[in-house]
Each structure stands twice: as structure tokens, then as C-alpha cells.
């Protein structure tokens, strides 16, 4: 494992000659090869990353370097990296290479971060366990019989297992925070629109957010500060980022939503949350019990809306324009059907069918339109609560990581893995998972802070407060 705890410490070691960035990158590459059975990476770039390390090390020593100089990053394989394979974890894109960089990836490179490889993920980011990749399961680094969480499990494992300093993932319904919890690391889901989605292969366009994994809260802040901001190439990116988040003259008011602490929560996670609440009180913060009464509708509303958007977004994979083509004689409709049948996995097909159903004539009003109304009500619940508190503290997941294959045959049980995360995406709010303990089997779990729109700095401040010695 690296001998530094943050990017600033790493840069200082390089500057003083106590760390070689080239050796550091080669050590990461060696470790990726040594534990390749965790299947965290779909593609690794040894030559490019070493060449970048040589050049960036010179920049650091000369003092003329970017904000992220020397940071070694994995990128989830739904984000475009020019001229490199991007599969989205799907057989239908097995030989596809984009001709441009995703905005978030480009910003990393411009600030001298080193992209070491593309990380494995559930197919088109559809999953809670990273068992839906066409290229094999990702394994939890704490116990290879357990899932790492999904859909950004490869990115979470890459950071947790010491295969890179940080990683980009995407969070549509908890896909950064849930694997971060299962793998014992930090995971930030930003405000919807705070980070450009240009170059991100869409699962559900009104939900997807580009997020960050790291072991250091300082690195989370540094990376998010670089990748955020308005992008004219993304019509959903937001110009304004300056919200009034907290009056520094008073303690933080932290809300504890009663709905997140029901009988489905593992005892060890509940006890850890209680200890952290007491710690916050000792630090002089104000704890307030609050209610989000419509949270119980989050899972059904989320899966109706996201599958509807997915069915529309995935219609472009037809065997004609790009990606896999199943060549057979006959009608064009047969080409479509054969290509999509052979190229998409079971979970993607399930969601396309469900999404097509809820958008169909006769069911649109009963399902899709009603789910949109529920989404608005859930958002209003959060807005109401944030009139009383500055932050919310909740569990991230109801349990620690479950066994590979345990929930594969029960989609509803799998979907309930995201019960504490999907409401945040429905409302478009920012949230941050932080490590909060381990269960009796040594498996990690996290809790999450949830903040008002564009108050990512407040999330980071809260975790720094918990880590302080005061």
C-alpha cells in the first residue's frame, strides 16, 4: 500500500525526492496484476500511465504542475476515454472506442492526473452487486465470496484494494455510495448537474451523476473541485454552484430521519450510527430527529422512472450505428432483435422490458406519470427538512456485503439493497458515504451525510469534523 495518506502528501514526497512517481505507478500496475482475480479492471494502460508519470514527476519537481498532479485514477467503463475501449460492461460494446474524452475525464487529465485503467461495472450501470458485467463478477477485497456493491464496484474495489489512489464512478441510485460502503472507503455523489455528464453513457439521464471514490477526504474534495462546473456540452449541467449552506457562527444542525432506522437495518450498523450521533453531540453539534414520510415510495418510483429512461436510452444499440452487429440474412427487424438479444444481458433486458411497459399506452398514466408525482413529493420532503437542519445522517446500506449469487434470482430483494440511497437521486441531492465500522465478520459498512443542493463542501466538513481530534 502507498506510504502517503493524501495527494498533497504524495506531491510533497515526490518534490523532496522521497517518492518516485514512476515507481509508484509501476507498483500499482504490479498490484493490479497480482490480485487480478478481483476483476476490478477491464482495461489497464501500463505504457501510457508510466509515460505520464515520467512527465508529471518533472512538473511536480519544477513546481509547474496541475492540481491533481501525480494522482493515479481508475475510471468506470461507462465514461469515455479517447481511443480506448469502452464496453460499459456489455457484450454489445465489446469493440467500441470513443473518439473523445468525457468532460470529467478530460478535466482530470488537464490537471495532471494519471488514468491507469478502466474499471469493471454492472452492464450499463444496471445493478447493485457488480454481478451483471458481461466480463465477470467483481469481488469484494475483504472477502472474495462477497459482492463489492454496484454498479461502480470495480472503481470501489480498485481504491479499497490499493490499485490506484482514487476512481471515478457513477451514481444513479446509490452506485457510488453503496459500493463505497461495502468496500470501506469514501464515496461522493454530487448534486445532479454539478458535474458534466458529457461522455457518460446514459442509464437514466435525469438521475446519473459522476462521483468520486477515495480513501482521503482531502482527495475527494480536490477531485470534485476539478471535475465540477458548467459544461456547454451538457444541457443538464448547472451554472450556479454557490449555495448558502451553513452559518459558521452556530453548530451544525444534523437531522436523523426516523424512516432510515427501521427493523430492516443490521444491528451493528444501527449501533455504529448511535455512536457517531453521540460523537457529534460531544463535538457540540445539534442533533434533531426528523421525518421523510414518503421515503417508503422511493424504490418503486425509482425503478419505474429509471427503467423508463433506460428503455429509451438503450434503443440506440440496434446493430446498425455502432457496437455489436449479429449478421443474418433477412429483414432489418431480425438484425435488431438478434443483435439486442445476443448483446444485452439478463438484467438489462429486464429493465428495458419493464421500462417499455410503463411507457406504453394504457400504463403511462398509471405508472410513469404517477412515479413522477411521487418524485416531486419526495423532493419536497427533503426541501422541507432542510428548512430545519443543515445535513442529514443516515445508513448507506441496510447490511454489509452479501454473498455472490445470494440475490441474483430475486430482483426485488436485490433492488431493496438501495433502499437508503435512491431517494437522494430522486431529489438530485448530494451525499457522501464514509466508513463507519465493520461487522463481526470483518466486513466494512458506511453511513452517509446528505446535504442541500450544491453543498458538497458541507458534506466534506462534516466528515472532517468526525475525524478531528477535538
Would you list the DSSP string of 143-178? BTTB---SSSHHHHHHHHTTSSSEEEEEESSSTTHH
Which is catalytic among the residues 129, 151, 196, 272? Answer: 151
Which is catalytic among the residues 52, 129, 175, 209? Answer: 175
Neighbours of 204 (CB within 10 A): 24
Neighbours of 372 (CB within 10 A): 15
**pLDDT single digits (tens) 154-196:** 999 999 999 999 999 999 999 999 999 999 999 999 999 999 9
Which is catalytic among the residues 76, 146, 189, 407? Answer: 76
> Could you confirm whether 151 is annotated as catalytic?
yes
Q: Report whether 79 contacts 104 (CB < 8 A).
A: yes
> Could you confirm whether 461 is annotated as catalytic?
no
For 291, the enclosing helix (H) or strand (E) is none
Neighbours of 321 (CB within 10 A): 8
Give residue 315's pLDDT.
86
What size, in residues, is the chain? Answer: 470
Where is average pLDDT lowest: 130-134, 338-342, 347-351? 338-342
CB burial of residue 305 (10 Å; 0-12, 13-18, 19+):
buried
Q: Could you give the C-alpha distances from 86 to 40, 89, 306, in angstroms and in order?
A: 15, 8, 22
Distance CA 188, CA 431 (A): 6
Distance CA 84, CA 160 (A): 24
Average pLDDT over residues 37-47: 98
End-to-end CA distance of the chain: 29
| Strand-by-strand arrangement of the 72-76 sheet | 41-44, 114-119, 72-76, 166-171, 209-214, 186-189, 431-438, 444-450, 391-395, 253-257, 286-290
3-state class (DSSP) for residue 186: strand
**pLDDT single digits (tens) 265-306:** 999 999 999 999 999 999 999 999 999 999 999 999 999 999
Cβ neighbours of residue 86 closer than 8 Å, sequence gap 6 or more: 77, 78, 79, 80, 93, 96, 97, 98, 118, 201
Distance CA 222, CA 213 (A): 12
Q: Report whether 432 contacts 220 (CB < 8 A).
A: yes
Taking all residues of the chain, what is their mean pLDDT, rounded to a whole number? 94
Answer yes or no: is pLDDT of 215 > 60: yes
Percent of the chain with pLDDT over 70: 94
**pLDDT single digits (tens) 116-136:** 999 999 999 999 999 999 999
3-state class (DSSP) for residue 394: strand
Please give the residue that has the higher pLDDT: either 415 or 381.
381
pTM of the model: 0.95
Distance CA 299, CA 319 (A): 33
- Residues in a beta bridge with 256: 289
3-state class (DSSP) for residue 466: helix
Of 117, 140, 130, give the one whose Cα is nearest residue 25: 117
Q: Phi, psi (5° rounding) for residue 324?
A: -60, 140
Neighbours of 453 (CB within 10 A): 21
If you ran DSSP here, which 8-state letter would residue 365 be given?
A: I
Q: Could you give the C-alpha distances from 288 to 109, 392, 457, 467, in angstroms and in order?
A: 42, 9, 21, 21
Distance CA 7, CA 11 (A): 6
What domains does the chain contain, in order, with CATH numbers?
7-227 (3.90.1300.10)
> Could you confirm whether 249 is annotated as catalytic?
no
Amino acid at each position: 500500500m502507498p506510504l502517503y495518506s493524501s495527494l498533497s502528501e504524495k506531491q510533497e514526497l515526490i518534490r523532496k525526492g522521497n517518492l518516485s512517481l514512476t515507481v509508484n505507478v509501476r507498483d500499482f500496475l504490479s498490484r493490479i496484476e497480482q490480485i487480478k482475480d478481483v476483476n476490478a479492471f477491464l482495461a489497464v494502460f501500463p505504457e501510457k500511465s508510466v509515460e505520464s508519470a515520467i512527465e508529471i514527476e518533472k512538473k511536480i519537481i519544477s513546481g509547474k504542475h496541475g492540481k491533481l498532479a501525480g494522482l493515479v485514477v481508475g475510471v468506470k467503463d461507462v465514461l469515455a476515454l479517447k481511443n480506448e475501449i469502452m464496453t460499459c460492461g456489455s457484450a454489445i460494446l465489446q469493440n467500441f472506442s470513443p473518439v473523445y474524452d468525457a468532460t470529467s475525464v478530460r478535466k482530470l487529465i488537464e490537471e495532471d492526473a494519471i488514468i491507469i485503467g478502466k474499471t469493471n461495472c454492472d452492464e450499463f450501470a444496471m445493478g447493485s452487486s457488480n454481478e451483471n458485467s458481461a466480463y465477470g463478477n467483481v469481488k469484494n477485497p475483504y472477502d472474495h465470496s462477497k459482492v463489492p456493491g454496484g454498479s461502480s464496484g470495480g472503481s470501489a474495489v480498485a481504491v479499497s484494494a490499493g490499485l490506484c489512489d482514487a476512481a471515478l464512478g457513477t451514481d444513479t441510485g446509490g452506485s457510488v455510495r453503496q459500493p463505497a460502503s461495502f468496500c470501506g472507503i469514501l464515496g461522493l455523489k454530487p448534486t445532479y448537474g454539478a458535474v458534466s455528464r458529457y461522455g457518460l453513457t446514459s442509464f437514466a439521464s435525469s438521475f446519473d451523476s459522476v462521483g468520486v471514490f477515495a480513501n482521503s477526504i482531502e482527495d475527494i474534495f480536490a477531485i470534485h473541485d476539478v471535475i465540477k462546473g458548467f459544461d456547454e456540452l451538457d444541457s443538464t449541467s448547472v451554472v450556479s454552484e454557490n449555495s448558502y449552506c451553513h452559518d459558521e457562527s452556530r453548530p451544525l444542525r444534523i437531522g436523523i430521519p426516523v424512516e432510515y432506522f427501521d427493523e430492516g437495518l443490521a444491528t451493528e450498523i444501527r449501533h455504529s450510527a448511535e455512536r457517531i450521533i453521540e460523537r457529534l453531540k460531544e463535538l457540540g453539534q445539534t442533533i434533531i430527529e426528523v421525518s421523510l414520510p414518503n421515503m417508503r415510495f422511493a424504490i418503486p418510483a425509482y425503478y419505474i422512472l429509471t427503467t423508463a429512461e433506460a428503455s429509451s436510452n438503450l434503443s440506440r444499440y440496434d446493430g446498425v450505428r455502432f457496437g455489436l452487429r449479429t449478421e443474418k440474412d433477412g429483414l432489418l427487424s431480425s438484425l435488431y432483435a438478434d443483435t439486442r438479444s445476443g448483446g444485452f444481458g439478463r438484467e438489462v433486458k429486464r429493465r428495458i422490458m419493464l421500462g417499455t411497459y410503463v411507457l406504453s399506452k394504457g400504463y403511462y398514466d398509471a405508472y410513469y406519470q404517477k412515479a413522477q408525482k411521487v418524485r416531486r413529493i419526495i423532493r419536497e420532503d427533503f426541501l422541507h427538512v432542510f428548512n430545519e437542519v443543515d445535513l442529514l445522517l443516515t445508513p448507506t446500506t441496510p447490511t454489509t456485503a452479501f454473498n455472490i449469487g445470494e440475490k441474483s434470482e430475486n430482483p426485488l430483494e436485490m433492488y431493496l439493497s438501495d433502499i437508503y440511497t435512491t431517494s437522494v437521486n430522486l431529489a438530485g441531492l448530494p451525499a457522501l458515504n464514509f466508513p463507519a465500522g465493520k461487522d463481526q465478520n470483518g466486513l466494512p459498512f458506511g453511513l452517509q451525510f446528505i446535504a442541500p443542493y450544491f453543498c458538497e463542501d458541507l458534506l466534506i466538513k462534516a466528515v472532517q469534523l468526525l475525524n478531528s481530534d477535538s
